[in-house]
Amino acid sequence: MIDVKLIRENLDALRTALTNRGSDINLDAVLELEGKRRQVLHEAEQLRAEQNRANDEIARLKKNKEDASGAIAAMKEVSQKVKALEEKVRDADNALREAMLIIPNTPDASVPIGPDASANRLERQWGTPPEFSFTPKDHVELGEQLGILDFEAGAKVSGARFTVLRGLGARLERALISFMLDTHINEHGYTEILPPFMVLGASMEGAGQLPKFAEEAFTIKDRDLWLVPTAEVPLTNLHRDEILSGDALPICYAAYTPSFRSEAGSYGKDTRGMLRQHQFDKVELYKFTAPEDSAEELEKLTKNAETILQKLGLAYQVVTLSTGDMGFCAAKTYDIEVWLPGQNTYREISSCSNCTDFQARRANIRFRRDKKPEFVHTLNGSGLAVGRTLIAVIENYQQEDGSVIVPEALRPYMGGLERIAAQT
């Protein structure tokens, strides 16, 4: 959530920011709701102050055993008025909050302005896409031939957009998870968290998933529980309604969770293989920082995610998303895109965002260094999407005979195995 004061004091700047994001929010309507709330609140407070003064007087009279019936009778009417005004305040509050909850974060000044992905800015590239002396296969063909990816079984058990991993495929997924977590914990100083995979609606709202993106998430029937669409949701809410100590920052968490997404609106997109699934594993990086540190921490976090690809020897590039391509909560986002020979292109494998105080405001996460509590900044990034990393490993390390070389960094996690070959 953005600061209401921005609407009151910096309306034009905010209007520009939202236009750049392609948002069609009617700020004048929000401004009016804000003014209305303040006016009604003031009225209610005035009357309540009067009521409080009278109540003290009644208390005094009673204490002195004097007659208070006149004062009490007079206050009956005031009491009714106060009730009516309080109702109005509640309505005004709710209306304003509803409006505020669907306003996206304002973009950082360093973000390229543009309508969509075409305006994204390439920051850097690492490694070189492999050259093959044969026509490379995609992960579907490779995985099926090796007997490690079973798409039919996935469809039979759970329907479209589910895949079953078998044997060394399952082992490879597990190896990747452990490898990523170990790297971030031992080398990058993150604390490992294993959060619940289901969260309350309040947690979804705190992380910015609700109310706007209810369609994107899976929910549990008849309960206020949602399957996490990303570990970002439980991690954000780990410190909901807390005031952290200033010297505890930055707090850095790394968490493995599955991510559940309905992928509503992406029908027909990436239907082949396991590039886009209803359920995929992800190791998530998350930070709570002081406001002045968040820009630098985003750079570090992104590099931490890149380290995984470098250790695995996978070529990638980093792009800054444009104002039109960024997510709802983000002020700035770097996407990391890994080279996929099966698609002959770079594909997103990580998204690293600085959400500034947007989530902190929604989830009420603050810290104290002087007197006043201040909102923290929150950052998140995939480090990395495990399923897509598995695809990248299989496709980039494929051999002409259809076997796959295991990257050296993963061998300790695969019992020393150097090559995945078809089981005969």
Partner RNA sequence: GGAGAGGUGGCCGAGUGGUUGAAGGCGGCGGCCUCGAAAGCCGUUGUACGGCCUUGCCGUACCGAGGGUUCGAAUCCCUCCCUCUCCGCCA
Closest approach of RNA to the CB of residue 67, in Å: 12
Closest Cα to residue 352, out of 324, 332, 329, 328? 332
Determine the size of the site formed for RNA (CB under 7 A): 34
Asked if 331 and 354 count as a contact pair (C-beta separation under 8 A), the reply is yes
Closest approach of RNA to the CB of residue 99, in Å: 15
Decide if residue 65 touches RNA (CB under 7 A): no
Q: In the complex with RNA, which residue's Cβ is closer, 17 or 75? A: 75
Decide if residue 219 touches RNA (CB under 7 A): no
Q: How far apart are CA 355 and CA 42, in angstroms?
A: 33
For RNA, the binding residues in 241-270 under the rule CB under 7 A are 243
Would you say how long the chain is, in residues? 424
Residue 281 tokens read as: 């594993």
**Is 348 designated active site?**
yes
Closest Cα to residue 322, out of 114, 124, 122, 123? 114
Asked if 149 and 166 count as a contact pair (C-beta separation under 8 A), the reply is yes
Asked if 184 and 283 count as a contact pair (C-beta separation under 8 A), the reply is yes
Taken in order 244, 247, 250, 255, the sign of the CA dihedral is negative
Residue 59 tokens read as: 């208390």
Q: Which of 86, 242, 348, 374 is catalytic?
A: 348
Residue from 53, 65, 221, 269 binding RNA (CB under 7 A): 53
Residue from 371, 415, 416, 424 binding RNA (CB under 7 A): 371
The tokens 């079984």 sit on which residue?
A: 153
Q: How far apart are CA 384 and CA 284, in angstroms?
A: 7
Closest approach of RNA to the CB of residue 82, in Å: 7
Decide if residue 191 touches RNA (CB under 7 A): no
**Is 48 designated active site?**
no
Closest approach of RNA to the CB of residue 386, in Å: 23
Decide if residue 54 touches RNA (CB under 7 A): yes
Q: What are the distances in angstroms from CA 127 to CA 65, 314, 315?
A: 89, 7, 4
User: Which range of residues in 78-86, 95-103, 294-302, 321-329 is near RNA by CB under 7 A?
Assistant: 78-86
Decide if residue 42 touches RNA (CB under 7 A): yes
Q: How far is CA 370 from the centre of its chain?
A: 29
Beta strands in 186-331 (DSSP E): 191-193, 198-200, 225-227, 242-245, 251-260, 279-289, 316-320
Q: In the complex with RNA, which residue's Cβ is closer, 62 or 156? A: 62
Residue from 127, 147, 201, 373 binding RNA (CB under 7 A): 373
Q: Are strands 242-245 and 419-420 parallel, antiparallel or unpaired?
A: unpaired
**Is 161 designated active site?**
no
Q: In the complex with RNA, which residue's Cβ is closer, 91 or 418? A: 91
Closest Cα to residue 298, out of 334, 244, 327, 254? 334
Decide if residue 38 touches RNA (CB under 7 A): yes
**Is 362 designated active site?**
no
The tokens 């494998």 sit on which residue?
A: 349
Residue from 26, 65, 67, 76 binding RNA (CB under 7 A): 76
User: Which range of residues in 20-28, 37-45, 110-118, 149-157 is near RNA by CB under 7 A?
Assistant: 37-45
Task: Count Cβ atoms below 10 Å from residue 109 Cβ, excluding itself.
Answer: 8
Decide if residue 48 touches RNA (CB under 7 A): yes
The tokens 């006149």 sit on which residue?
A: 70
Decide if residue 6 touches RNA (CB under 7 A): no
Q: In the complex with RNA, which residue's Cβ is closer, 50 or 182? A: 50
Q: How far apart are CA 152 and CA 207, in angstroms?
A: 35
**Is 369 designated active site?**
no
User: Which range of residues in 113-121, 214-222, 370-378, 394-402 is near RNA by CB under 7 A?
Assistant: 370-378
Decide if residue 207 touches RNA (CB under 7 A): no
Q: In the complex with RNA, which residue's Cβ is closer, 68 or 185? A: 68
List active site positions: 261, 276, 348, 351, 388
Where along the sequence are the contacts to RNA (CB under 7 A)?
A: 4, 38, 41-42, 44-46, 48-49, 51-56, 58-59, 62-63, 68, 72, 75-76, 78-79, 82-83, 90, 243, 366, 368, 371-373
